[in-house]
Amino acid sequence: CVNIIQDIHCDVDDEVYMRRSLEIARKAIGHTSPNPMVGCVIVKNGEIVGEGFHPKAGQPHAEVFALREAGNLAENATAYVTLEPCNHYGRTPPCTEALVKAKVRRVVVGMVDPNPIVASKGVQRLREAGIDVTVSIEEDSCKKLNEAYIHQILTGKPLLTLRYTLSLNGCFLDQVGNGVADAGGYYSQLLQEYTAVLISPPSSSEEFEIPASKEHGAKQPLWIFLSSPDGSITIPRITDTTTKVVILTDREVVVGKRGIETVVMDELNLGNILDYCQSQGLNSVLWDVRAKLGIHEQLMKEGIEQKYLQKVVVEVLPQWSESQSGNSQTLFKSMAENLKMKSLQPRMSGQSVLLEGNL
């Protein structure tokens, strides 16, 4: 389908350009929280004349960068945006006005913005200005890209994903099999995606080394260490000066190590932990369990029963474990009753099998 005459467009092209917008949006992966990732391309006579993405909260939106690049060519062009253009004055002015001013003829929107300040008002404003608007192109991919943002806007809580490693005989292993040393491994990718990693460490006596970021200037999540139920804490070894660590505890502790902050809470429950993350603008939290699940049994039960847990990533290593898993029966009963996976998608990462699903 060749789009030579600007009045004629076809659905195939819409999907192609929306996928390009999604690709651009991903350039800001892990950097935009609490804002969504958004990408925009401007197409004139079948050619891309401008591209942009939202780099960070506080900075201009995707449409603004794309319109800047397109300049006068934006007139009568089509704009593809992964998220409905905003119609409000936030940290930045409304994108709808920028699109209207640039005299764009058509806007193709990946998904409606669930943010109640925007929610369809952006589309409405564009239509009122005489712009032809098409909504819900590559919608599932657009929603997947911003699942943390959507969850946080709708529930007021960060998206919480549980990650653990299993042996072939179903025992919990205290390691990440694939990905720590390998920049292309799934774990490195998770570190890019998530704004925070919540660590249930194997045991306070063991050294825990936080992996240094693979590329210079790569985004690092906030590393949150939870004190054990007996009050003991793990002080991680940091090899990268940009790494930030917070130890969450329910009693006073003095750490005195650069880059490590301690935050004392009245009670170390999951509600308080997620509120803390929310207050820090963190919209996605990877709960990385390196010990048997039972170490933070109460937290885990709370996560399951209060429906804080949204996703699970399980890594199955091609090896057997000699230890028995020794997990709490009460916890497992609660999991069996409450954890129903909606979907479970398998894939490979190195020698490991990954099972990813939504609850």
Site string for ligand AOF, 117-136 (x = CB under 6 A): -x------------------
CA distances from 357 to 74, 80, 95, 321 (A): 41, 29, 34, 24
Closest distance of CB 45 from ligand AOF, Å: 25
In angstroms, the CA 283 to CA 202 distance is 25
How many binding residues for ligand AOF (CB under 6 A)? 18
Is residue 66 within the footprint of ligand AOF (CB under 6 A)?
no
Give me the amino acid identity at 116.
Answer: P
User: Which of 10, 278, 49 has the alpha carbon at shortest distance from 149?
Assistant: 278
Residue 136 is encoded by which pair of tokens? Answer: 């819900």
Q: Which of 63, 84, 138, 315 is an active site residue? A: 63
Peptide bond into 34 cis (omega under 30): yes
Nearer to ligand AOF, 91 or 127 (CB): 91
CA 303 to chain centre: 18
Task: For the segment 92-121, give every residue that binds ligand AOF (CB under 6 A).
Answer: 92, 95, 113, 115, 118
Residue 91 is encoded by which pair of tokens? Answer: 């940290």
Of 90-98, 271-279, 338-346, 351-359, which part binds ligand AOF (CB under 6 A)? 90-98
Applying CB under 6 A, among 28, 83, 131, 176 the residue interacting with ligand AOF is: 83
Q: Which partner in Zn ion, ligand AOF, none is near 44 (CB below 5 to 8 A by kind)?
A: none
Q: Which partner in Zn ion, ligand AOF, none is near 36 (CB below 5 to 8 A by kind)?
A: ligand AOF
Check if 63 is active-site. yes
In angstroms, the CA 294 to CA 39 distance is 41
In angstroms, the CA 298 to CA 234 distance is 19
Site for Zn ion, rule CB under 5 A: 61, 86, 95
Specify the DSSP class assigned to residue 298. H
Site residues, ligand AOF (CB under 6 A) = 35-36, 38, 54, 57, 61-63, 83, 85-86, 90-92, 95, 113, 115, 118
Give catalytic residue positions: 63
